[in-house]
Structure 1
Amino acid sequence: MDFLRLPPSLRHSLLHQPLLRRYLSTTSTYQPFNDPTPFIPTTPSLLTLSTTNLNTYQIALPPTPTQLRYAHTFFVSAPPTYLFTSPFFRSFPPSQHPEVAFLGRSNAGKSSLLNALFGRTNVRDAHVSKRPGRTKTMNGFGVSGGLVMGRAPLEGQREVAWKRFPRGGVVVVDMPGYGGGSREEWGKEVMKYLENRKQLRRTFVLVDAEHGLKGTDIQLLTHLRRRGVAHQIVLSKVDKLLFPNAKPPGAEKLSNGLLKLKELCADVKSTLNREAGDGRERLMDVLCCSSEKSLEVGSQGQREKKVGVDEVRWAVLSACGLECDEKGGRRKMGGMDIKIQDEG
């Protein structure tokens, strides 16, 4: 049907229908002859940096601004407390606190991300090194959310700090890296921890966004999937895709970078579903972050909040059941405690 051959009154009426205008914008670029309503072709809107554009959520609901503010405050209200170091799984303390583990290939940015999570980019709690495989032990850091530590024992031994850590906090375990800079014996102890630690709520596996999935990443992630270990993928160093230069990107460049990031997330999911070999298309959430750069300017003119870090903080709290209430306040702890026995 030739649209121009329709009576003017009918054309004018049809042009006010949104579906028809959208169709015409994709199939034609002409303006109707003698029509009082000008034809304006629609253009796709540019993507902006937001929680849903940055991350992929298929299981959990995207966090709200209130929840992100709570997660930010929880992690930066007090410095992290060093609790323990263990080279072997059997020497882990039998604590009653929920734990999350962070691991990834050597030089995937794990230590930098942990320091950003703790809000300690100037004072480094997790050691950052250019040499792969610097982290050689499993190190526990307590994030209390501002709760007060218990009274120190009379002896004052540092190794029992985990006993004074307050209920209502979370223990973040910094794991040794895997890949070219790691050692085989460390990997054995790491797998013992990931598969047998009762306090472990979720494992966050970092994948370098600039280089994508490597063979060791696929091997670890498919193993965790087959063994039923709760885990989540975190694409680190996404600034390499979003704004590789020192100057913040313009709207169009940022939108293009976000589109590339979405394609990378889709590729990661399809690759893992294919490599798992179980014939199932499993849903998964993929978080994206940068521990180095930010697009938000703080009150003092400094770029404070790193890209995607608050979303990772919220994922940690959600995994441990430490979410805020509807008003963004700390939830009151119930009376149901689970006694964690010594694992021998």
Structure 2
Amino acid sequence: MDLLRLPAPLRRALLTQKWPNHPLYRYLATETYTPSNDNLQQLPPSPRLLSPSQINTYTTSQPPNTSQLKYSHFFFHASPPHLLYSASHFRHFPPSSIPEVAFLGRSNVGKSSLLNALFGRSNIKDAHVSKRPGRTRTMNGFGVTGGLLLGAAPAELQVKDAAWKRFPRGGLVVVDMPGYGSGSREDWGKEALKYLEQRKQLRRTFVLVDAEHGLKMSDVAILTHLRRKGIGHQIVLSKVDKLLLRGTKLPGPLRMGREVGKLQEMCARVRETLDAEAGDGRQGVVDILCCSAEKSLDGKGGHRKFGVDEIRWSVLSACGMESDETGQRKRRSLDGVDVLEET
């Protein structure tokens, strides 16, 4: 039974009669926040109970459980990422059978910081963190193997085989796209759109939106374009710590509850804005993930950044590499698959 979905009077009665010392009782007995959108989940506001999977809004997928998040964490930490290629134009992308996901957003939205957190590295080559917008000028593909080893390099010193040619099956590629908006260049946008529309290996696009400033016109334009073209995508609200943590200390339960409520209302406004801009009379079906590449909101000062493991899970799910409910790697079966031979 989900206590937080019950009416407030019934919840108070149940807690006082059955669990008078329950840590949620103080909050439930004093203040209740009801989201304006029926799809948004009611949350316990305690910082130590705050879960990104509860704040995120899932409409196309199911939220991961603890075992699946641990699997995602291990997959991205098992080995360092490999810079496979850098392409300034779409025609420079190498042929590949490896699934890819792309991360893009406005210049200085925190994309490089998020990718560093995603890979579990403080700073990786070509994913530079800079206060100057437009630092990323090429489309950079980073390979994540989940612990698998790259193939051996050729023995001949004169031959230098590309890393992407030795990339193992069972891995994936994360493509860091140049930023759009202020500080970007028009020709980068044209090449990025070619990649998003024509790259057959692309499985999903993650569009970063600054949670502190909300949607900008350039965000609305790219998200509407992806929706109309039928390109699979998810929205990532970055820098949510700027909303949930307005000081150096963790807020109390009531204040955290109010800040979480504001964040949920922002997610609802994002959906409404995109639906209105699309103008097709339908409600968009897109997940909204919340994260912070800088801070952990578990109240323990841990190294796991808020919401990053959930993004890792979404990346694995998009590439068909997610684990089962127990956190074990799924085994692919070819039973029932007919192989047609050429005549």
Structure-1-length-normalised TM-score: 0.82
Q: Go from structure 1 to structure 2 and tell me whether the alpha carbon gap of 1:123 and 1:227 turns closer, same or farther (over 3 Å shift).
A: closer
Q: How far apart are 1:178 and its partner, in Å?
A: 0.1
Distance 1:146 1:62 in 2: 25
| One-letter amino acid of the counterpart of residue 92, structure 1 | F
Q: Which of 32, 44, 47 is matched with 2:45 structurally?
A: 47
Distance in 1 of aligned mates of 2:334 and 2:99: 16
Moved more, 63-72 or 52-61: 52-61
Over 3 Å counting, the alpha-carbon distance change for 1:155 and 1:180 in structure 2 is farther
Where 1:73 maps in the other structure, the secondary structure is helix
* Cα shift readout 1:223-274 (whole Å, capped 9, x = no counterpart): 1111111111000000000102222222222222211110110000010001
Residue of structure 2 equivalent to 1:317:
316
Helix, strand or coil at the partner of 2:148? coil
Over 3 Å counting, the alpha-carbon distance change for 1:326 and 1:23 in structure 2 is closer
Contact 1:109 1:236 in 2 (8 A): yes
Report 1:158-197 matches (<5 A): 160-197=162-199
**Aligned equivalents of 2:324, 2:8: Cα separation in 1:** 45
Deviates more, 1:175-184 or 1:255-264: 255-264
Aligned position for 1:242? 244
**Cα gap change, 1:24/1:130 in structure 2, threshold over 3 Å: closer, same or farther?**
closer
RMSD over aligned Cα atoms: 2.5
Q: For 1:36-81, what per-residue CA distance to the aligned partner results, in whole angstroms no more than 9, with x for missing partners?
A: xxxxx94446424113432111221111011111001101111101
SS at match of 2:286: coil
Q: Secondary structure at the match of 1:112?
A: helix
Q: Which 5+ residue runs of structure 2 have no aligned equivalent? A: 1-5, 14-27, 33-43, 338-343
Aligned partners of 2:150 and 2:255: how far apart in 1? 46
Report the equivalent of 2:78: 77
Between the aligned residues of both structures, percent identity stands at 61
What's the counterpart of residue 98 of structure 1?
99
Corresponding residue for 1:148? Answer: 149
Q: Which residue of 2 aligns with 1:341?
A: none
Give the distance between the partners of 1:21 and 1:69, measured in 2 at CA: 37
CA distance in 1 between counterparts of 2:139 and 2:11 reads 58
- Counterpart Cα distance in 2 of 1:128 and 1:20: 46
Q: In the alignment, what sits opposite 1:4?
A: none
Distance 1:80 1:114 in 2: 11
Alignment of 1:229-308 (within 5 A): 229-296=231-298, 303-308=302-307
- Does the C-alpha gap of structure 1 residues 225 and 19 become closer, same or farther in structure 2, counting only changes over 3 Å? closer
SS at match of 1:84: strand
Go from structure 1 to structure 2 and tell me whether the alpha carbon gap of 1:103 and 1:123 turns closer, same or farther (over 3 Å shift). Answer: closer
Partners of 2:219 and 2:7 lie apart in 1 by 45
Letter in 2 for 1:327: T
Cα distance, 1:333–1:142 mapped onto 2, change above 3 Å:
farther
Q: Distance in 2 between matches of 1:84 and 1:123?
A: 14
Report the equivalent of 2:222.
220
Deviates more, 1:323-332 or 1:153-162: 153-162
Partner letter of residue 51 of structure 1?
Answer: P
The verdict on how the C-alpha distance between 1:325 and 1:131 changes in structure 2, with shifts beyond 3 A counting, is same
Indicate if the aligned counterparts of 1:53 and 1:258 stay in contact, CA closer than 8 A: no
Deviation, structure 1 residue 22: 4.3
Q: What CA deviation, in whole Å up to 9, does each residue of 1:196-231 have, x standing for no partner?
A: 000000000000000000000001100111111111
